[in-house]
Structures are given as C-alpha cells and as structure tokens.
C-alpha cells in the first residue's frame, strides 16, 4: 500500500471488544484500544516519503503484518467511464503497457457496488505497477500518477473508484443531498427501503435480462447516494492528498443543475475528509460528435462545460481542459496521456504550490469597441497563440442574439473579434458546441477553456 506523507495518516479496523492494540511502522509505535463494538482507529505520526516499510498491527495474542508499505502521495481518482477507462484501451496501449514498470506506483481499484446506506468495506487489493497489472488500471489516473512520480520523485498511491455512465448525485452523500431541493425526496425514499438493496438490485438485473418480465426499478447505480455509500464512504478517512475527477457526461441534460450539484459534491467530500483545503482537480468534457456548420445557440455539453468551469470559483480547485483531444466518433477518447499531464499540471500548482503555468487561457472580460469586441484573459502564460489559420470557433452576436462566425485576431494579450454581419456587437462565444474547432492556446501549449460573455 501507500500511505500519505506529512499527515497523521489514519489506520483503522476491527478486533475483539475493548482490545488493546499496537501499530508499529518504521520505528513508531502507537497504542490504541478498540471500543465496545470492536472498532478502533489510530493516527500515525507524520512521515516523509520513503519505504518500503513493514506495518505490524498486534494484540496480546495475534498480529497482522503488511509488508512493502510505502509513504508518499495518495490521490483518489473517481468519476464515470472516462476515468474508469483502462490503460489497455488508451492510445498506444501496447507500448504504454510494456513500459509500465514503476514499483513505487501502486493502485487500489475499488470493486463496483451500490448501497442505500454507507458501508464500511470495499473489495479490492493494492497492486504494483507492472505490465501485468497496469493494463487494467484507470488510464487517466495512471498517466497522472506517472507524471507525479517522475516529477516529484515520490511513491504514489492511486485509489481508483469510478463507474461508467454514472451521475454526480450518485457519488454524493445523503447528508449533503438532503439539503438539495431537487433530490432530497429521492434520498429519503432510497434510505427508507426495507429490502436488502443489493439483493433487490440483483433481482432487478435478472428481470432486465428477461424481456418477458418488467424491471422493478430503473438503473439503481445512479440512484442518489448509491455509489457514495458503497464506493466512497468506506474509503473515508484514508489519508489522501487530493482528488482527480472525470465526470459530467451523464449530467449533461441537467447542466444548469450541475452548477450547484457539482460544487455540492466537492464540498461534501471535503467535509467527509475533514479537509476544506482538499485539492479537487477535474477534467472538462472533451469535444465529441460531429462539428456544427453554424453556431448553435443552446448546447447541452457546452452548458455542462460552463458549469464545470464555474466550479473553479471554489478554492483549491483546478481544471484540465480537453476540448482539443476528444474524438468526434467516440465518447471515450483514447488520448488519456494529455489528460493525465494536464491534471498533474493543475496538481503541481493547486496541491504542491509550484509556479508552473498550469492552465490554458480563461476568459476574463470584454470591451466593445465600435463594431468589434476586445477580449481579455487570465492564464495567458508566455502569451496567446493559435493553432492553425485562421483563429476559429469564435462567434459574435448583436442585441438580436443571433450568433455568426467571427473573425478573430490576437493583439498582444488580447483577442479582437468582429463580423461583417454584426455592426453593433454585444456578445462573444468561443468553442460553444459539442465539437468545436478549438484553436486558442497559450504558448505553453494549453488550450483555452470554452466560454461565453452572455448569459442568454
């Protein structure tokens, strides 16, 4: 396993009632006594990166020994299918798997499960990174861990807990969702079920496979709290440095709701780990589907990306923009290498305090100048640049709210946008569609996030 360095990392378990135990690790001995239910928890003394160590948990008549324990950086990786997608399905998979030999990077993949109440255990084992094991690791999390390991020269532990086609509310606790108007009733109904939920789900799956019988329930893995209860709650309060998250596709039809639902999840997990500064880094949805020949006024994925970028208003958050590395024909783009790199760049600043340029340009403000609009940006790095000619994916509109493709030029650290079809412009949008021809970057090679200046 890997334990988080620099903190009082929790170690917990069960034993006989009121039993005295000693936890020994790297010369540190901690005594703890189990409660009347046999539950116990100890907090280790902060340790520096290193290992391997041996951890011994002993009582007067028994002991459990964990060999090959490393101390380093531990991250929780979660979300839906683009986080769950394994290395064997990524770009250059054969080469990447063959080269995946990093014994100081360890993965714990949480077994898929649902529950109507919080559980205290999960299925899974810690595995070393080698070609045999790595092929089944989360690709995005693996490339993130590799960057982290090589750059910071530290052991890395990834706890990977994700499931395809899942919604944000399924990953959020009942305590938090009880405060959310649109979902609190669903949570109450779910928690009040008297049946064994896991048995109920298996029965549902059996009936769903038989077309002659009607399923009892919809897809329960997306029921509010179902995945939090089974796949996140048992992990708390394992010592982690931060979270990497790739999810949103399943909430795209409710993008406006996601503006408050996603920050609720972030706040929820920070409360669960009792760490309001817990770094939370996420991937903005990649480009997907056929390109639109004309500007689209309302687009679900564009709105979801906007909701994701709004979450950056929360402190200690970072976003990896992937608007340029998607696949028009595949909702699971294979390029997870750049996803991992961009997540690590965000971590390098948010979690580790470096001054590296970690984000592409983010819209800051606009100024109307006669028949043109001047745009200003944050995170310009060494300067703005374009890939390809001309600068594409910009739209402009007047008070009639009709958008037209715009001519855009870089003017120092600004962008000037205009169109012969719009004499009195009032609004600009960039990359505002499922699959835009994104072309704006900073000179560090990081893409600009999609944006709009209006709120129509």
pLDDT of the residue at 216: 45
DSSP annotation of 450 reads: P
- Cα distance between residue 374 and residue 416, in whole Å: 5
pTM comes to 0.94
- pLDDT digit string, tens, across residues 37-95: 999 999 999 999 999 999 999 999 899 999 999 999 999 999 999 999 999 999 999 99
- Cα distance between residue 185 and residue 181, in whole Å: 8
The residues with which 108 forms a beta bridge, in sequence order, are 126, 159
Q: In this structure, what token pair is assigned to residue 417?
A: 């946008």
**Residues contacting residue 379 through CB under 8 Å, at least 6 positions apart:** 357, 358, 359, 360, 361, 362, 442, 446
- Cα distance between residue 407 and residue 390, in whole Å: 8
Distances 110 to 6, 113, 235, 400 between C-alpha atoms, Å: 25, 9, 9, 51
Residue in the structure block whose two tokens are 């250059």? 92
- pLDDT digit string, tens, across residues 371-406: 999 999 999 999 999 998 899 999 999 999 999 999
pLDDT of the residue at 202: 62
Residue-range domains of the chain with CATH: 2-69 (2.60.40), 73-179+222-350 (3.40.50.1110), 362-452 (no CATH)
pLDDT of the residue at 218: 43
Low-confidence ranges of the chain (pLDDT < 50): 215-218
- pLDDT digit string, tens, across residues 254-293: 999 999 999 999 999 999 999 999 999 999 999 999 999 9
- Cα distance between residue 172 and residue 190, in whole Å: 13
Pairing of strands 440-442, 156-162: unpaired
């Amino acid at each position: 396993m890997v334990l988080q360095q620099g903190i009082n990392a929790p170690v917990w378990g069960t034993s006989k009632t009121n039993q005295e135990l000693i936890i020994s690790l790297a010369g540190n001995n901690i005594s703890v006594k189990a409660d009347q239910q046999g539950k116990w928890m100890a907090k280790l003394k902060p340790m520096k990166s290193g290992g391997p160590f041996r951890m011994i948990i002993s009582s007067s008549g028994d002991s459990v020994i964990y060999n090959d324990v490393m101390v380093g950086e531990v991250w929780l990786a979660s979300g839906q299918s683009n986080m769950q997608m394994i290395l064997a399905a990524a770009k250059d998979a054969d080469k990447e798997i063959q080269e995946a030999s990093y014994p100081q990077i360890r993965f714990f993949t949480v077994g898929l499960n649902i529950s109507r109440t919080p559980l205290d255990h999960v299925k899974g084992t810690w595995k070393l990174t080698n070609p045999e094991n790595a092929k089944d690791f989360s690709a995005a999390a693996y490339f993130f861990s590799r960057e982290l390991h090589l750059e910071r020269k530290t052991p890395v532990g990834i706890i990977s807990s994700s499931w395809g086609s899942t919604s944000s509310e399924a990953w959020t606790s009942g305590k938090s969702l009880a405060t959310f108007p649109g979902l609190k009733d669903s949570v109450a109904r779910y928690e009040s079920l008297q049946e064994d939920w896991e048995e109920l789900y298996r029965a549902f799956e059996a009936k769903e496979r038989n077309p002659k019988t009607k399923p009892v329930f919809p897809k329960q893995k997306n029921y509010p709290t179902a995945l939090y209860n089974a796949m996140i709650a048992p992990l708390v309060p394992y010592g982690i440095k931060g979270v990497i998250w790739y999810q949103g596709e399943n909430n795209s039809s409710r993008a406006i709701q996601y503006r408050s639902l996603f920050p609720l999840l972030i706040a929820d997990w920070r409360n669960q780990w009792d760490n309001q500064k817990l770094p939370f880094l996420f991937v903005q949805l990649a480009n997907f589907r056929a390109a639109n020949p004309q500007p689209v006024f309302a687009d679900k994925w564009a709105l979801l990306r906007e909701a994701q970028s709004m979450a950056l208003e929360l402190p200690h958050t970072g976003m990896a923009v992937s608007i340029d590395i998607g696949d028009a024909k595949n909702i699971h783009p294979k390029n997870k290498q750049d996803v991992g790199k961009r997540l690590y760049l965000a971590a390098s600043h948010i979690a580790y305090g470096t001054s590296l340029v970690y984000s592409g340009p983010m819209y800051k403000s606009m100024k109307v100048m006669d028949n043109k609009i001047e745009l200003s940006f944050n995170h310009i790095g060494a300067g703005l640049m374009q890939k390809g000619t001309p600068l594409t994916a910009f739209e402009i509109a007047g008070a009639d709210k009709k958008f037209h493709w715009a001519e855009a030029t870089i003017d120092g650290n600004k962008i000037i946008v205009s169109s012969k079809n719009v004499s009195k412009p009032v609004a600009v949008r960039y990359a505002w569609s499922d699959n835009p021809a994104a072309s704006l970057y900073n000179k560090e090679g990081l893409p600009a996030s999609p944006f709009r200046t209006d709120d129509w």
